[in-house]
């Protein structure tokens, strides 16, 4: 489910029910995720109050009295509230029972996600320290991107999806932003003009903002923390539309593979 807009949607959905509450009991049924869930997580969290819920890249961070809870949804993860009597499914790996009586559930069939505890400061943690700027912040601008792209032979789509350059842009929105900007995904990053980077930065921000406003993109069964589906799927211009006509010029959208990920683009609109 998760690219930045989906994670942001989840954060916004769960935040009102978490902030100010305390963990009463944490149940870990499957600790084998991307990294092992700490064996002492239930002990570490018990009795702790959630001071705030924030997002950094695609990580959900719960600031606690002492330390932080970090959750990543990987490819197939979900984080959502369930009624306390909800049956436990095969992939329901962690339940967080709050003092309010509500249960926050972490479900992840592919187990590419993560549930970790961070001691103290978040920025120093190895998973977060190397991350590039947030795409919707002013730190992500054309000058910055031009500087980072200088001399790079990597295709622009791969550069966009590199979290050290800019976070939160996954396969869907990389495809969409490049279409919107009229740039071929396989163009060498170092050979794109500053003017085109100006346009690309604007498009990345636009597509992400629009997706957040629509509650994320629902593929499969993504639902935000409030249980509502995302409505951005109907806005997608190229992702998942290979072989179909370009919505701007009607020519057939092409599909290639880059870094084992599917790339869809219009050979006429994108140069």
Catalytic option among 24, 152, 261, 268:
261
Cβ neighbourhood burial of 258 (10 Å; 0-12, 13-18, 19+): middle
User: Which of 73, 18, 28 shows the shortest CA–CA distance to 51?
Assistant: 18
- Minimum distance between the CB of residue 130 and DNA, rounded to whole angstroms? 7
- Of 92-100, 117-125, 164-172, 201-209, which part binds DNA (CB under 7 A)? 164-172
The pattern of x and - marking residues 14 through 53 that bind DNA according to CB under 7 A reads: ------------------x-x-------------------
Q: Does 170 bind DNA (CB under 7 A)?
A: yes
* DSSP string across 30-87: --BSSSBPPTTHHHHHTT-BEEEEEEETTEEEEEESSSEEEEE-TTT-EEEEE-TTPP
Query: Site size for DNA, by CB under 7 A?
Result: 44
**270 sits near DNA (criterion: CB under 7 A):** no
171 binds DNA (CB under 7 A): yes
Least distance from DNA to the Cβ atom of residue 145, Å: 14
Nearest-approach distance from CB 41 to DNA, in angstroms? 19
- Out of 3, 6, 176, 214, pick the active-site residue: 3
Q: Are 225 and 13 in contact (CB under 8 A)?
A: yes
- Is 261 labeled as catalytic in the residue annotation? yes
3 is catalytic: yes
Residue of 2, 133, 155, 185 marked catalytic = 2
Count other Cβ atoms within 10 Å, centred on residue 234: 9
Q: Tell the smallest beta-carbon distance from residue 142 to DNA (Å).
A: 19
Residues belonging to the chain: 271
Q: Hunting for tokens 């930065």 — which residue is that?
A: 201
Question: What is the helix (H) or strand (E) element at residue 24, kind and residue range?
Answer: strand 23-28
Q: 95-134: which residues touch DNA (CB under 7 A)?
A: 109-112, 126-127, 130
* By the rule CB under 7 A, 6 interacts with DNA: yes
Q: Which residue in the set 44, 115, 189, 201 belongs to the binding site for DNA (CB under 7 A)?
A: 189
Spatial neighbors of 30 by CB under 8 A, at least 6 apart, are 37, 91, 93, 94, 111
Cβ atoms 238, 157 nearer than 8 A: no
Contact 56, 118 (CB under 8 A): no
Helices 4-18 and 194-213: crossing angle in degrees, nearest 10, is 40
Based on CB atoms, which residue is closest to DNA, 193 or 260? 260
> Interface with DNA by CB under 7 A: which residues?
1-3, 6, 32, 34, 57-58, 72, 74-76, 90-91, 109-112, 126-127, 130, 151-155, 158, 161, 163, 170-172, 189-190, 217-220, 222, 257, 259-262
The residues carrying an active-site annotation are 2-3, 58, 261
């Amino acid at each position: 489910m998760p690219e930045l807009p989906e994670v942001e949607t989840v954060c916004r959905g769960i935040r009102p029910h978490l902030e100010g509450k305390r963990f009463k009991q944490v149940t870990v049924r499957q600790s084998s995720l991307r990294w092992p869930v700490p064996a002492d997580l239930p002990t570490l969290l018990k009795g702790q109050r959630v001071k705030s819920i924030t997002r950094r890249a695609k990580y959900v961070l719960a600031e606690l009295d002492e330390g932080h809870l970090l959750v990543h949804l990987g490819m197939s993860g979900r984080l959502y509230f369930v009624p306390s009597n909800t049956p436990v499914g095969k992939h329901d790996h962690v339940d967080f029972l709050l003092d309010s009586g509500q249960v926050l559930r972490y479900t992840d069939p592919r187990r590419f996600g993560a549930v970790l505890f961070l001691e103290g400061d978040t920025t120093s943690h190895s998973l977060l320290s190397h991350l590039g700027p947030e795409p919707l912040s002013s730190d992500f601008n054309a000058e910055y991107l031009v500087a980072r792209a200088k001399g790079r032979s990597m295709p622009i789509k791969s550069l966009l999806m590199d979290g050290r350059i800019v976070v939160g842009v996954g396969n869907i929105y990389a495809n969409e932003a490049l279409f919107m900007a009229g740039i071929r995904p396989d163009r060498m990053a170092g050979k794109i003009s500053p003017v085109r980077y100006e346009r690309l930065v604007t498009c990345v921000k636009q597509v992400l903002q629009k997706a957040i406003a629509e509650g994320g993109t629902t593929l499969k069964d993504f639902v935000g923390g409030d249980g509502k589906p995302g409505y951005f799927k109907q806005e997608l211009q190229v992702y998942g539309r290979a072989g179909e006509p370009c919505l701007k010029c009607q020519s057939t959208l092409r599909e290639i593979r880059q870094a084992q990920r599917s790339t869809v683009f219009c050979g006429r609109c994108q140069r």
